[in-house]
Amino acid sequence: MLQLKVNGQTHELDIDPDTPLLWVLRDHLHLHGTKYGCGTGLCGSCTVHVDDRAVRACLVPVSAVSSKVVTTIEGLGEGSDAVQQAWRELEVPQCGYCQPGMIMASVALLREKPSPTNADIDAAITNICRCGTYNRVRQALLAAARKGEASDA
């Protein structure tokens, strides 16, 4: 029996400890905001936070996070308002499939670097968007950083 803390709730799960976190979230906890994309950690559609750090859930066995705090797009709260507002204002999504992972990666970056440079964004946001919304993602991320600076003043 594994204990898993996701979005502030503790879950007792009787599952194989090698099950990827992605499938636990989607199939056992019915949190479908975290998407399956490539299954190899390249696309970033499955990005979640583990102890506030962005990780690719398809690569992480659930046993590796049993003593950690997992946050999915459904549980994203404090610190994400500026990002989600910028996403809406700049109409970032096209098809939208990759956007939960993009938002999760962006929030993690802004927590680590509240005023990221373009180089910081390039290094941290490696998620793949098949619609090519990269310019809007960058603009929204920088807009969210500016809003964060304004709210700190």
Counting Cα atoms < 13 Å in the Cβ hemisphere of 33 gives: 17
Separation between Cα atoms, residue 133 and residue 94, nearest integer Å: 7
What pLDDT is stored for residue 52 in this prediction? 93
CA–CA dist 102, 100 (Å, integer): 5
pLDDT of amino acid 112 = 95
Q: Are 55 and 49 in contact (CB under 8 A)?
A: yes
All structural domains of the chain: 2-75 (3.10.20.30), 81-152 (1.10.150.120)
Cβ–Cβ under 8 Å, residues 112 and 58: no
- pLDDT for the residue 147: 87
DSSP for 74-140, please give it.
Answer: GG--TT-HHHHHHHHHTT--SS-TTHHHHHHHHHHHHHH-SS--HHHHHHH-----TT--HHHHHHH
Using 70 as the pLDDT threshold, list the residues of the chain that sit under it: 78-79, 149-153
pTM value is: 0.92
b/e per residue 106-136 (b: at least 16 CB within 10 A):
bbbbbeeeeebeeebbeebbebebeeebbeb
Structure letter (DSSP) for residue 4: E
Q: Packing angle between helix 134-152 and helix 99-112, nearest 10 degrees?
A: 40
pLDDT at 150: 54
